[in-house]
Amino acid sequence: MLREDVQNRLDSLTKPKGSLGFLEEIAAKMAMMQGNVIPELPRKKAVYVFAADHGVVAEGVSAYPSDVTPEMVLNMLHGGAAINVLSRHVGSEVHLVDAGVDYDFDDSADLIRSKVGHGTRDFAVDSAMTSDQASQCIENGRAIARAAITQGVELAAIGDMGIGNTTTATAVAAAFGYDLDAIVDIGTKINDDQLKHKTEVIRKAIALHQPFRDPMDVLGKVGGFCLGEMAGFILEFADHQLPVVLDGYPTTAGALIAWKMNPGVTDYLFAGHRSWVRGHIVILKDMGLRPILDLDMRLGEGTGAVLSFSVIEAAVKIMREMATFEDASITTGSEQ
Amino acid sequence: MLREDVQNRLDSLTKPKGSLGFLEEIAAKMAMMQGNVIPELPRKKAVYVFAADHGVVAEGVSAYPSDVTPEMVLNMLHGGAAINVLSRHVGSEVHLVDAGVDYDFDDSADLIRSKVGHGTRDFAVDSAMTSDQASQCIENGRAIARAAITQGVELAAIGDMGIGNTTTATAVAAAFGYDLDAIVDIGTKINDDQLKHKTEVIRKAIALHQPFRDPMDVLGKVGGFCLGEMAGFILEFADHQLPVVLDGYPTTAGALIAWKMNPGVTDYLFAGHRSWVRGHIVILKDMGLRPILDLDMRLGEGTGAVLSFSVIEAAVKIMREMATFEDASITTGSEQ
């Protein structure tokens, strides 16, 4: 069995068994994905930042106006956002995806045009999108993934950018049955009263739209264009047995949709970090994903995900480059 | 005030305030150390692995025989150990220090010769070293640090290698008053009976040697050559206002000795990771150091420390490379 061969290899390396902890699990997961005891390093790494607007912002759930979404997209295109800095640091490409920003970008803007609409509708009063739009999101996400794979991307991260995205992510999780009070949190910097208001907006929306038939129904009623495209991206990467690294709460809500459609996707997912946003770890635990980093980050954009690339590559290199006890003629311990 | 200027700079970057969490604190610490709002990237990074033998191994406290210490040193010199792999990954030099291995390395071996003795004495029956040897450790560590600084090292990690090192580290912490039952743990892979035995060996040694007058007395009675040299190294780097990244439990016990001699050293220390070894976090908390990584690693050698270099450099780059709200003409939120 491959899993046993992988474990035997890990145990043959010059270290006490298991002493590299989670690094060993990451190495094993990469090996299993590739179907080889000794995994290859990814030839190309890239982060896809899915930007979209959320109609629910009309309910006053966010500290920022929706104008900030296109402004931040332009900042990323100019290389000045945190995701640009961290991607350069780890040697990753950055691709901006317009999944549904309520703004028409200039033709010259270097982004992936995948707009399903000019922002979703306000799910407090209506379905966020039509069922056709929900299907379109999945197909668009899959198409972006296929293009990435064609271009040689073998380790992808996904990030989310869009004012109101934590409200949408929370509504999606609640629609799947998570206890709203256990997962709701501020996204960036709203106060207690605003948080209470945000919670009530989501609670009423869930009551308005239930019952939810299936993941596509959840996506259509309370989802976001970005979440739907990320779900499609994940499904396609999993079909190609390639890894996707999740970032924070919105990307994990996107993964939740994909996971409900195909529980096997978690074999190809890493949780790049544990976000400071409370509900994040609750969902990750259910999906059996342990966060690689835990730095109280809550920025989004894929920042936590790309920072973890360095740890994932380190894990692969451990498997590829460390000497074995036999190579190094080292005395093994009493229980080795 | 510099600290305020640093905070203002962090808050001017295109992200919600504080949303990069611990990365922002790391960036601020680097800025404060350098005395500049925008810190420079370290020109050169290096890890110093302090290897030594521990006489207390004669009491049967370890799963491995002391022969493994020189064997692992040779493995590191040949580039096959985990610390070599991870150092190459993050672009760090690796320097092996023979602080007191019970073995005479060949003249050709490329290591820093800083041997204080051929392993310490068994502190279960005698002082681990003479007071002259304890002073020699501090001076040797300081000399290694001065040479590193002369060579341009601006970010150093320290690692420990030596069978029996967690037993020595635990004895040092207990001598400083830590509750033995709250900190004792297996180092690599001993069983419950062996752990009980190890605990009793340390308990009796503490009873034998107490009272402890001061840090040098602790080092002399129950310390190790590696711990003493690491303490000296840390003191010297702090004198030059340069950062040292701690690895796991033994390096932190070395830092504890330095901290008891000069409480200001923590301004120049980072905790690279939280070791799986139980007592580690207890000591880090007292020193006010938050671990950067938490991957259940317990290998030593500096592995957790060098892996965190990538995060420290990322934090510095955030400060240097991100656009400000003004640069990017971005609408600031309601409370900005």
Closest CA to A246 of A265, A264, A222, A263: A265
The answer to whether the peptide bond before residue A39 is cis (omega within 30 degrees of 0) is: no
Which range among A255-259, A268-272, A331-335, B87-91 shows the weakest confidence by mean pLDDT? A331-335
For residue A227, pLDDT beyond 60: yes
CA B193, B70, B59 angle in degrees (round to 5)?
A: 30
ipTM value of the model?
0.95
For residue B236, pLDDT beyond 70: yes
| Residues of chain B with C-beta less than 8 angstroms from the C-beta of A277 | none
Closest CA to A159 of A301, A308, A304, A307: A301
Q: Tell me the C-alpha distance between A289 and B302, whole Å.
A: 27
B85, A14: Cβ pair inside 8 Å?
no
Neighbouring CB atoms inside 10 A of A290's CB total 16
Indicate the residue of B19, B71, B88 with minimum beta-carbon distance to A330: B71
Task: Report pLDDT for B187.
Answer: 62
Structure-token pair, residue B202: 């340390």
- Maximum CA extent, chain B: 70
For residue B30, pLDDT beyond 80: yes
Instruction: State the average pLDDT for chain B.
Output: 95
B321, A63: Cβ pair inside 8 Å?
no
pLDDT in tens, A167-198: 999 999 999 999 999 898 876 667 888 889 99
For residue B336, pLDDT beyond 50: no
DSSP string, A78-137: TT-SHHHHHHHHHT-EEEEEEEE-SS---TT--SEE--SSSS---TTTS-SS-HHHHHHH
For residue B325, pLDDT beyond 60: yes
Helix residue ranges per DSSP H, chain A: 2-12, 22-34, 68-77, 82-90, 131-150, 165-175, 180-183, 192-209, 215-222, 225-239, 249-261, 279-286, 303-321, 325-328
A80, B331: Cβ pair inside 8 Å?
no
For residue A67, pLDDT beyond 90: no
CA A238, A26, B292 angle in degrees (round to 5)?
A: 125
For residue B4, pLDDT beyond 70: yes
Q: Are strands B44-52 and B93-100 parallel, antiparallel or unpaired?
A: parallel
Share of residues in chain A with pLDDT > 90 (%): 88
CA B5, B8, B9 angle in degrees (round to 5)?
A: 90
For residue A335, pLDDT beyond 80: no
Q: Tell me the C-alpha distance between A142 and A122, whole Å.
A: 26
Q: What mean pLDDT comes out for the span A230-248?
A: 98
Which residues, 6 or more positions from B258, have their beta carbon under 8 angstroms from its beta carbon? B230, B231, B232, B234, B235, B238, B265
For A205, half-sphere exposure in the C-beta direction (CA atoms, 13 angstrom radius) is 33
CA B308, B312, B313 angle in degrees (round to 5)?
A: 115
Q: What mean pLDDT comes out for the span B289-317?
A: 97
For residue B335, pLDDT beyond 70: no
Q: In degrees rounded to 5, what are phi and psi of residue B302?
A: 95, 5
Structure-token pair, residue A220: 């259509």
Give Cα separations from B4 to A40, B21, B31, B36 (angstroms). Answer: 46, 17, 11, 12
For residue B190, pLDDT beyond 90: no
Q: What mean pLDDT comes out for the span B165-177?
A: 96
Q: Tell me the C-alpha distance between B324 and B329, whole Å.
A: 8
Which residues, 6 or more positions from A60, have their beta carbon under 8 angstroms from its beta carbon? A194, A197
For B262, half-sphere exposure in the C-beta direction (CA atoms, 13 angstrom radius) is 17
Cβ atoms of A303 and A83 closer than 8 Å: yes
Q: Which of A24, A59, A236, A301 is catalytic?
A: A301
Q: How far is B215 from chain A (nearest CA, A)?
A: 30
Which range among A74-83, A103-112, B87-96 shows the weakest confidence by mean pLDDT? A103-112
State the Rg of chain B over Cα.
Answer: 20
Indicate the residue of A17, A90, A328 with minimum beta-carbon distance to B80: A328
Task: Report pLDDT for A63.
Answer: 78
Indicate the residue of B71, B72, B297 with minimum beta-carbon distance to A23: B297
Which range among A160-164, A261-265, B261-265 shows the weakest confidence by mean pLDDT? A160-164
Structure-token pair, residue B134: 């304890």
DSSP string, B207-246: HHHPPP-SHHHHHHHH--HHHHHHHHHHHHHHHTT--EEE
Q: What mean pLDDT comes out for the span A76-95?
A: 97
A65, B331: Cβ pair inside 8 Å?
yes
Q: In degrees rounded to 5, what are phi and psi of residue A196?
A: -60, -45
A78, B17: Cβ pair inside 8 Å?
no
For residue A96, pLDDT beyond 70: yes
Higher pLDDT, B327 or B137: B137
Structure-token pair, residue A239: 């079909």
Q: Which of A10, A15, A319 to mutate to test the interface with B (most CBs of B within 10 A)?
A: A15
Helix residue ranges per DSSP H, B66-161: 68-77, 82-90, 131-150
Task: Report pLDDT for A189.
Answer: 66
Closest CA to B245 of B149, B300, B312, B169: B312
- The structure's pTM equals 0.96
Using DSSP's 3-state secondary structure scheme, residue B177 falls into coil
Nearest chain A alpha carbon to B26: A295
Task: Report pLDDT for A334.
Answer: 47
A323, B67: Cβ pair inside 8 Å?
no
Q: Tell me the C-alpha distance between B237 and B145, whole Å.
A: 6
Q: What mean pLDDT comes out for the span B120-133?
A: 98
Band (pLDDT 50/70/90 cuts) for residue A336 is very low
Structure-token pair, residue B80: 């096959």
For residue B13, pLDDT beyond 90: yes
For residue B334, pLDDT beyond 60: no
Q: Which residues pair with B46 in a beta bridge?
A: B93, B156
Task: Report pLDDT for B7.
Answer: 97
Q: Tell me the C-alpha distance between B218 and A227, whole Å.
A: 58
For residue A308, pLDDT beyond 80: yes
Task: Report pLDDT for A188.
Answer: 62
Using DSSP's 3-state secondary structure scheme, residue B27 falls into helix
Which range among A64-68, B54-58, B83-87 shows the weakest confidence by mean pLDDT? A64-68
Cβ atoms of A66 and B8 closer than 8 Å: no
Catalytic residues of B: 301
For residue B20, pLDDT beyond 70: yes
Q: Tell me the C-alpha distance between A33 and A238, whole Å.
A: 9
| Residues of chain A with C-beta less than 8 angstroms from the C-beta of B275 | none
Burial per residue of A197-232, b for 16 or more beta-carbon CB atoms within 10 angstroms, e otherwise: ebbebbeebbeebeebeebbbbbbbbbbbbbbbbbb
pLDDT in tens, B248-300: 999 999 999 999 999 999 999 999 999 988 899 999 999 999 999 999 999 99
Q: Tell me the C-alpha distance between B91 and B44, whole Å.
A: 9
pLDDT in tens, B80-97: 999 999 999 999 999 999
Cβ atoms of A270 and A157 closer than 8 Å: no
Q: Which residues pair with B100 in a beta bridge?
A: B52
Q: Which of A20, A77, A161 to mutate to test the interface with B (most CBs of B within 10 A)?
A: A20
Using DSSP's 3-state secondary structure scheme, residue B147 falls into helix
Closest CA to B124 of B186, B226, B209, B224: B209
B314, A20: Cβ pair inside 8 Å?
no
Q: How far is B324 from chain A (nearest CA, A)?
A: 8
Give Cα separations from B329 to A26, A66, A67, A71, B326 (angstroms). Answer: 40, 15, 11, 8, 5
Q: What mean pLDDT comes out for the span B108-124?
A: 95
Closest CA to B49 of B105, B89, B93: B93
Q: Tell me the C-alpha distance between A240 and A234, whole Å.
A: 10
